[in-house]
Structure 1
């Protein structure tokens, strides 16, 4: 009672975006009691909404035959293990060579899914798991699960410094007030963001963390850990220029200089399957560059007389 036509349509057809439904109302493909209406028309109750529309492509990007590490795939979704260095979504300066370009080549039907099925993203230099919706039903379900914080995302990170223990960071994130390509913890106007972390291994001047996202803001882990005083190793954006530890061996110095990305890996991903309702959980082993870096850090600890500890 009293709702707008486009609002009622959004409730009846939740798998479609509000913008798409409004477009269909204007074109007459979505009708109210058999007649063409306007998105703002009021609904009294008892009317019949009928939809007769052909799904057009949601994306206009080019399919490319690029390698994909597919962890799981069915009719509803795919789980991808993304390597570091791969951009997820086409954008300014990255129209080709992205994960979406590869996905469209593998599953052309993803053209009909918003954003090519991408429901959450990883930064270019972050490796690991992400889920891709392959149907409108899966897209609606996964987006809803993310909004309700029902998707579990766990990361492995190496930070500069040695926290005394695990913790929780609750600090709103928004655009940096002066450097607009960066995000930052902001006092006003930011979106709520919560990150949990615990110690995985301690080294002389670095710490490996297990990190869990409660929210999913842009660059959230990188921003929150830098805000806490423990920037990610290899992150020039939020950690500044490389600072070699005092007394670092030549091998450690070479390893740190050669690690050219933020030390962040999406290692575990859990959600409810949109079709079956089953709980799905996936795990990705650490990438080779992270394993090699951990080995050097552990050996440096041994040389300096320290002991890399296990879970705390």
Structure 2
């Protein structure tokens, strides 16, 4: 529903005898009782054509007409940018973000972001905090994200994220050959010398990443990483901290390391991969309205699949 669009419905007869503001708060759970009371007092609510008081009782069956007045939280421009939507209903949108797409507008980068795309796709998100975005991915990290379409869904999802009740798993191609999975439990904060980067810093915010092996190549390993926390650059910082930085990471990856015996094709592929090889591959959560457990999976984009396949071919050739 676009911001401030009118609402029309009838009051169920079983709610007869209750206060108008209480009834509307129950029937319109996306809005607070305080906001609904303000609309009633401002004459923006009618019952069978008359303007009630908040404390008036309903008889049941009345025709309700509501003209909401919801402040627009975003002045950012809606833009027709293609979205890879994997699921959508009245409460949420699950999408597969491409690498290279910035999530939020910022100074010097006000347009062409995921937020601009969401405002075009669903204009009502202009009334939601951060246009309903409840978590983010770095510009050059691809993968699954969830967006809340209503205030109620936003509150439930933010609370679930804080309680670690939303499962997020990533595929990360890292430098070096790991022999087993593990856990990195190290605090993260702003880097002490480079304020544009994050780092493992004593006294920083708690951060826990679990990783397990998916496939091992020559000089590289494909990992599946799950998060208990959601700190900025968490996986990138943690993998670098254990000396297995993510391939292509411009901030934490160091210089390019070609595997021994790399041929021309693999060398060209690795040199041409100019972003971190990190993809949010699985998202699982409890639906904020129905309570149903839901999960989605998304394969990495073509550039990352090509890189993985090139390493796989190189490993096979060396084995032969």
Which TM-score tier does this pair reach, normalised by the shorter chain?
0.7 to 0.9
Indicate the residue corresponding to 1:200 in structure 2.
Answer: 214
Structure 2 CA distance, aligned partners of 1:82 and 1:236? 20
Residue 294 in structure 1 maps to residue 315 in structure 2: no
5+ residue gaps, structure 1: 1-13, 35-47, 307-312
1:164-203 alignment, distance < 5 Å? 164-188=179-203, 190-203=204-217
SS at match of 1:86: coil
SS at match of 2:268: helix
Structure 1 CA distance, aligned partners of 2:92 and 2:121? 12
Which structure: larger Rg? Answer: 2
**Alignment RMSD (CA, Å):** 2.3
Q: Residue 141 of structure 2 contacts residue 280 of structure 2 at CA under 8 Å; is this kept in 1?
A: yes
Structure 1 CA distance, aligned partners of 2:181 and 2:109? 37
The correspondence for 1:249, drawn from 259, 263, 276, is: 263
TM-score w.r.t. length of structure 2: 0.79
Residue 115 in structure 1 maps to residue 104 in structure 2: no
1:1-312 alignment, distance < 5 Å? 54-188=69-203, 190-305=204-319
Pairwise CA distance, 1:110: 0.1
Pairwise CA distance, 1:29: 6.0
Which runs of 4 or more aligned residues in structure 1 lie more than 4 Å from their structure 2 counterparts after TM superposition? Answer: 14-17
Pairwise CA distance, 1:55: 2.2
Aligned length: 265
5+ residue gaps, structure 2: 1-28, 42-54, 56-67
TM-score w.r.t. length of structure 1: 0.81
SS at match of 1:243: coil
Structure 1 CA distance, aligned partners of 2:121 and 2:129? 16
Structure 1 CA distance, aligned partners of 2:97 and 2:249? 18
SS at match of 1:111: helix
Structure 1 CA distance, aligned partners of 2:190 and 2:113? 24
